Copies of this chain bind each other. A is one copy, B any other.
């Protein structure tokens, strides 16, 4: 069952080391099948070199393992919260990719300084607040999802498909696992460039709104004209 979805999730996971987003096992990708009410995720702590499609773990939306011999990623409860709160998303990625992680460690949202950012993220990429000691103690991974959702109370998650978790690292998402990985790659590039932009011009201000609108909307929405569709 779900062989095709396992294959897709496996391939999306394998993109992470290929794109230099993970060291060792520091990342995981999942994708949901909303009709069947299950999602498929990387097993916990398994090396990418050893990973096989059949190692992927199938979870239901109550957080129970439906299939698979391995434990799922420790971050599974975070993925689950995001799938429940954001009905438009189909895939989720977590990494410790260095540039996104340093912004997370600094506890700063990433300002939009250019069209590379605006092509994929409409406005700043928010840094979710720290968890309280009680939230960490009670249900760390689930509450990580909760504070992410809190940061999106006034944002469309399809317009800003990623977030930073303070002192931790990024989560991104997309219409499927491959799309979520794509956004993880973009986030890493954008995070790097935002840092150097601030170094080259400490008083830099964000991209003007008309240019941001132009770039985001030529790639997204009803009037998009980028690409072949």
Q: Within the complex, which residue of B43, B98, B115, B204 is in contact with A193, where a contact is CB–CB below 8 Å?
A: B98
Interface 1/0 per residue, A161-203 and B, CB below 8 Å:
0000001110000000000001001100100111111111100
- Residue A7 is within 8 A (CB to CB) of chain B in the complex: no
Instruction: Say how far A106's CB is from chain B's closest CB, in angstroms.
Output: 4
Contacts of A210 in B (CB 8 A): 133, 136-137
Instruction: Return the chain B residue nearest A45 by Cβ.
Output: B227
Interchain CA distance A179-B170 in the complex, whole Å: 26
Is A87 part of the binding interface, using a Cβ–Cβ cutoff of 8 Å?
A: no
Interface size band for A: 35 or more
Least CB distance, A13 to chain B, in whole angstroms: 16
Residue numbers in B under 8 Å from A169 (CB-CB): 114-116
A211 close to chain B: CB less than 8 A: yes
- Whether a CB of chain B sits under 8 angstroms from the CB of A108 is yes
- With A169-B115, A228-B44 known as contacts, the answer to whether A199 contacts B197 (CB < 8 A) is no
Interface 1/0s, chain A 197-219, versus B by CB < 8 A? 11111001001101100100010
